[in-house]
Every structure is written in structure tokens, then in C-alpha cells.
Structure 1
Amino acid sequence: MPIIIIKTLINAPIQRCFDLSRSIDLHQISTVQTKERAIAGKTSGLIGLNETVTWRAKHFGITQNLTSKITAVNSPNYFVDEMVSGAFKSFKHEHHFEVINGQTQMIDQFYYTSPLRIIGRLFDSIVLEKYMFKLLEKRNQVIKEFAESNKWKQVLSV
């Protein structure tokens, strides 16, 4: 099972970073390149424990739906979303937050299994792992940009 780990240091309060990471609205802003939209379940605001969201996006030229569920929350330090249905065989995305020298370190741990066994593993090593890394990295840069400026007020209630 591949794992992608990304660490992002953000000069903003931990609660703001935690909430921005759970924001359906900010997620849609960060994925404009894939035209990702929440189409069912929680479709705006902050997603919470046991809530689901179904995303529709275009990846590799194919429109896909993916439903994930928040399976654990320990505000403001940790939450987990896991795939309920979608193109992966499975995925688990752990979001960790900690304060280091007055800044928030956000750590993503994204575990996934592709379908199609050997073909899936080959696709992982050639394309998918890099693609997912870039997608998550872009998302984290948008979270950082919003958290470190007044833009966060556009998606979080003050």
C-alpha cells in the first residue's frame, strides 16, 4: 500500500488550519484544475465526524465520483477521512496538526490501494503516486495561502 506524506508549515493558529482543512468550500477552491465539486452529503461548510461527502471530479480525462467519510476527529490536532466508494480500492487520509515554535505544522498521511492488482501497482509507480502528491501539495498550498492571509474569512465563519 503506497503512502504519501506531506508536511506543511503554516504561520497561523492551529484551529484555523484544522478548520480550513475540513472546509468543503476551500477544498473546491483548491481543486479547480479537476473541477471537483461536492454533489452529495455535506456540500458546504465544515465536515465533521461521521459525515460523508461525495465529490465529482475529472481525473485523467474521466469524470469520477468518490464518497468519503470522516471516521475520526480530535480537534484541533487530528482527523481522518476514508473512502466509502470510488475509483480506489481503498484510501485513508490522516490529517495531523501540531504547534511548533508558534506555527502550525500540518502533516498529511495518505494511504491508498489502487484497484486492478498488478496493473494498479504499475499505474501507481508510473503515474498515480506523483499525481496524488501534486494534488495534495496544491491543496496544502491553498490552505497555507488562506490561513496566512485574511482569505480564510471567505470560507470560515468569523
Structure 2
Amino acid sequence: MKQFETVTHIAASPATVFDLSLDVDLHAASMAGSGERIVGGVSTGRMTLGDSVTWEARHFGVRWRMTSRISAYEQPASFVDEQVAGPFKRWHHTHRFAPDGRGGTVMRDVIEFAAPFGLLGAGVERVALDRYMRKLIEARNVHVKQCAEALAQAS
């Protein structure tokens, strides 16, 4: 199993960043490069505790589906999404939002994942999947940051 953490500083309140991070429309827009789209569950707007969504996307030239559920929710400090069906043996994504002391937010993402297929999957994790997943999360976070900061400036 692999784990990594990303930290993103955002000039918007934790409540704003929390809400945007749960918005499936924003997520779909941030993943447009992989053709990610909603095929089940919450189809628009913001998710909350117990909600699930099924995504379909193309990664590494393969089309896949993943259903994730919001399994923990403490507005506006944190939430967790976990895979309930999909390509990973395990997917657990903790989102944390803390005030930065200047009116902004420190957003931390802690991702734990495991590929299926035993030793073969573990090799894929080391060689390609860890770096690939980190880049996807970082790209998503750039999109969240841009949207949150634009919203904060407009208010």
C-alpha cells in the first residue's frame, strides 16, 4: 500500500474550500483531461456524509469505473472519501482544511491506496501509479485553488 500527502495553500476560507472540494461538478471539470464523468450516484452539486458517486474515466489507456462514498464528514475541517467499488484494492482519501492565520486555508490531502493483483500490483504502484496519482491530485488541487480564490475575490 502506498500513501502520500499534498499541501495546498489557498487564499479563501476553509468553509469555501471545504464546500468546493465536495462539489462533483468541480471535480469533473478538474479531471476533464481524463474524460472523467459521473455515471451514477450524486450527479450534480455538493456531496455530504453517506453520499456516493460513480465515476468513469480513462487512465493508462483503460476505461474504468470507481464508486466512492463520503465516509466521514466534519464541516468545515475534514472529510473522507473511500472507494466502495472500483479498480483499487484500497482507496482512502482524507481531505483536511485548516485556517492559515491570514484568512486563507491550508488544504491537506492524505491518500492511501493499494493496487490489486498482489506483487504485480505492488510493482505497478512503485513504478507508475504513485507518481500518476500524485499528479492527478495536484492538478485537481490547482483547480480547487483557482475556483476558491476566484470566488473569494468576487465576494
TM-score normalised to structure 2 length: 0.96
Q: Secondary structure at the match of 2:46?
A: coil
| Deviation of the 1:9 alpha carbon | 0.4
Determine helix, strand or coil for the equivalent of 1:148: helix
Q: Distance in 1 between matches of 2:124 and 2:113?
A: 13
Q: CA deviation at 1:152?
A: 9.5
How far, CA to CA, are the matches of 1:21 and 1:14 in structure 2?
10
In the TM superposition, residue 39 of structure 1 has moved relative to its aligned partner by 1.0
1:9 is matched with 9
CA-atom RMSD, angstroms? Answer: 1.5
Task: Tell me the amino acid that sits aligned with residue 51 of structure 1.
Answer: D
Deviations 1:109-138 (A, max 9, x none): 000111011111110111000000000000
For structure 2, the residue ranges without an aligned partner over 5 or more in a row are none
Asked whether the 8 Å contact 1:80–1:93 carries over to 2, the reply is: yes
Letter matched to residue 143 of structure 1: V
Aligned length: 154
Return 5+ residue gaps in structure 1 as ranges. none
Paired residue for 2:96? 96
CA contact 1:146–1:152 (8 Å) conserved in 2: no
The residue identity in structure 1 corresponding to 2:90 is S
| Aligned twin of 2:121 | 120
Question: For 1:130-149, what aligned pairs fall within 5 Å after superposition?
Answer: 130-149=131-150
Q: CA separation in 1, counterparts of 2:110 and 2:94? A: 5
Cα distance in structure 2, aligned partners of 1:117 and 1:134: 24
Report the Cα offset of residue 15 of structure 1. Answer: 0.6
Question: Deviation of residue 150 (structure 1)?
Answer: 3.4
Q: Does the C-alpha gap of structure 1 residues 23 and 152 become closer, same or farther in structure 2, counting only changes over 3 Å?
A: farther
> Aligned partners of 1:15 and 1:101: how far apart in 2?
14
SS in 1 for 2:87: coil
Q: How far apart, CA to CA, are the structure 2 residues paired with 1:104 and 1:21?
A: 12
Q: Which residue does 2:56 correspond to in 1?
A: 56
